[in-house]
Chain A
């Protein structure tokens, strides 16, 4: 098989940020997630929960709430601004000041015409949603406390607002507050603290459900303004509530990390009188759950422990299938590590700075970039001479010299190169490729000490989605790009025009690479399918057809993290090296493909078998699970393997304080 010298790298101190808010768009099946540093992520729930898009954060953009209006995404934060995002160019489209102080919540009516925000100064501000912008319409009656949460009645005529110690019901047309529901404070020591109604839901039968800081979930009658039921769910706060579309199930997230489900059912079977009954409790988080979304079939939760958990409900999906498995998304679905193969350098991308390390030494360079905008993408040239990174608004190129002791900034950059979603250097470090708006790629020539604009490559399909994957072939002839519309285009760099387009597959590509000698494009998709496409013949290769016909092994398809990097072995052209978060795999194309019934992870057993038996039993997929959690696996020029790990324990030990739970015998 092969032995490699492994550089095991564990000094990438990547720290994911806490999840602050989320919103699910059931029509497009996309989940939007806002993190504490202002970053926004879009997950495609229909495509194996792939993290399609990431909009980097910004200092000071403290997002508190998210809201979908059709295909448009709005956020509101403590900086008092409402932001609409451009999901095709991965940046904020515009921001509108609400002039009400910090904004705590944002919600739109079911018709999608009005946007209501709850502000610190006690006003609920209504904005009209127009074609290209939003416009302030009016304030509702100003209240004496801050508005923490809002919920529209599905008819769009009433709004329930959760404040301190009380809930107010507003008439959306007149703006008058009609009812005031007083929320009881906690018992004991918390009686002196005001109770905060963190979350509120207005159902179509005029029932209001509220979750507050005293740990109660209360059910109110919105018509008479009376309390129907109180349920003490936790000793700490109930931070988030979410109701399903058909209003039969409700989930509440607590500071303990539990998610409690309530269902609208009758307590005895067959009877008509339904009520909200507490049914299930999920404990999938170690820290506070601050954001919840209830989809058709699952409960999605996220919070201070930075993991996104999707828990399918077993009464909506079939048990013991791939569909019903618990999914946890911890690390990003894209590579944050760039490896300069020839120079033995590693570039680590953090939100606000980059770190450059040399393998074999223990100290490295840390470049701290004091910028408000966070870094979108970064790249290091294979020779280690150039470094480039891009934020939402700017682009920087640096020249590294004297074994990267000196870093000089290249000042004169071409005008067209303003910001990029993805960057890639050519293997001979003579060109830089930057993905720009609407699936186009800008080609820039690097002649020291300056760089010159060469060309813009555009696909024929006219897709407006951004390119998230770039790969330049070793011989400098081809450039492969993939965008979130699931298109893969290959350009001929000698002629600087489109060579071919790979037939579109329904799942988004997560990693692409071009073989150095055979010029075959290998593409791995979010649903774990692998394709190999010959660029010379413009068709799928024989091996790829064989793989498709036989089908991939079920254990391969059941993996829940995507492949983020594909590499090749110069010593053995039949090898393809892939990795995801929990394993790295070497596919040997010369060996037979595994049958559905054969044991898939058979590396350990093979070692114990004698030689002739080993040949009979070995199959193409050789998987190694020694290293976890993997952030990058790359092959250097001297045939040693670089494995960048980020153990989950290291992340967990740096998380903020969880609640103290007294457990028996501890």
Chain B
């Protein structure tokens, strides 16, 4: 005998693994054991195969590969003794899954065991089938299971019922065969059978409309009786949990009643009484009772209940919400979210309590509560709620600030009725959590300020004040810089003071101080620094006395190691030194930013069609400069292309300043090695410009800067896409590996992915289908289902005929838009229908192995 195969006992192996101090030691022990098991298997050592599988189960649990034991499981299943079969089936369920071909081999053993005389062996086979059966096995073995549903032994019945669930999920067509046996299960007394039977009925309702009508007609009464019996039953020690008889059965029945009562007035009326009884009688001092109440509330919300019953349900939720136990509060919040659509007034009554939950120390509760609050906001309560949330923002946890900020921002944007309130709240949020504010949110603020001429002075002053208090918040700093650059003189001269404002004196040099401090602050990034330079240039023309100082500051950056800053500094310096006569017109205030374009772009509607002419009318003198530049340097940049396009329908007004600018640009071009500098500098001159290194420079800037200048919507589109891209670093056209999305013994599906770098949420998937069986498939149809946050668009496949044994492929392309890109991973369920020699087949699966970042 092989010295290995005698091996250690299971107990000794576990002890040895436990004794390991490091992962490496553990690996060594496992490797040794695996070697022993392998050799034992290859020697066909019957005495130890039982133990080997037990060991492999343990090794599998630790996360090591154990595929070599699969065949051994099959051998054990085929053996005669019960203990061997027992461990064999367990191994089968743990070590195998549906995708593996080995499963094909087990069908026969299963069939034999389903017909075995020993009830325990039948039970084993049913259990295994219920856990692992594939669509094919379901078809083959469904008649056996149907027969077993009608046996007398309750243990077999309940297992057969659950097995049927798996079968009808795999092959929904088989549902009709099961609906009458399922109905008869509900007449049983044994709780296990009842639970399984109710569960089977629930699943039948899900897959088939006919079955649910059938059940509605024949079972409602029986279900109500079951519920009544268990509600009123005397103490039953076997099923008692905290004084309640079998809460699990309660819950199952309530759930099935919900399915039957959903959208059906008669059934709903019929079950009203029993629901009222459960809701009022169940004790709520133990978890089990609360679980029933929770389910009962859910059912009341789900059916066409009377208003009295609904009030009862909402009151239960109110009680849950004020419960000390966090678990209960969590489910209450969960439930209230669903109750909003039924009765939002009733939920509003609990607003204060819910708001308290947002401040809870428990992250799960906070998250739920915040989502609920967000749903509760309406025009009347937006202001007090926002105030509460902003107050809390100050003291909230760091890791909660991101969520909280984004929710507050969307509330502010959605419910602002007056601009001043909007600006006030945004400034508050920016100064409390500016680092968490998304780029497009503060871009929107700038657009709003630019559209409110009477509030510009006020805005720049409040930003200035906020900046003095919290200069660490990046987005606050950026908005402040932009506003000081644009409206600096309003800050200094106190233009447009509102009555509520406290008077303040800001001198010109104070304003320049702000910019200088930002520019030199160690933590400032390049974008902010570039914005500072532009703001300084603008100030130098608005405050002629400070112009000397501005020049000095700019000059210090001529030697900057950052190319972008250096270039700007040099260009601006030459504007100040040599082109005083055009400076004032160059740095004129930005034109009013087009709000509607911005909003429609943000909403992501790519087909917004704003006429070019309209935008052209709004173009300031800058437009002509820019267009001329498009001609002067037709670089490969897409922006230039687009500008070229717009050139065709816009006559270029020639002005004297044009020539100067040409000169200037020429200088800039020869000085710089950046390929896109031509357009870049223009963008800079014209706007707030947030440049980024590399060749994506013109696109990557803030989306606002381009808006007023660009004549065509496409340009805006382009810029927007990339701006949002910037907020997901690393998301720029990464290469996603292809995956095997689905594989059964008959079919293999692979997905490969392509992504456009400017649209991170959109993924194009090329699916390839391969037939692994020996028969050709016809009428091949692929269907896919995705969760609500994903949009799916299927293109037609190239064929519906799939030749046998991988001799041909079908390819199909589809596009997926993940609206919660970066927050939620892709998920997809698939269903494939085809015919094999005129017999219909159906396969289903779920794909969870999408590469991250899609």
A and B: bona fide binding partners = no
Task: Give the interface of A toward B (CB within 8 A).
Answer: none
Task: Give the interface of B toward A (CB within 8 A).
Answer: none
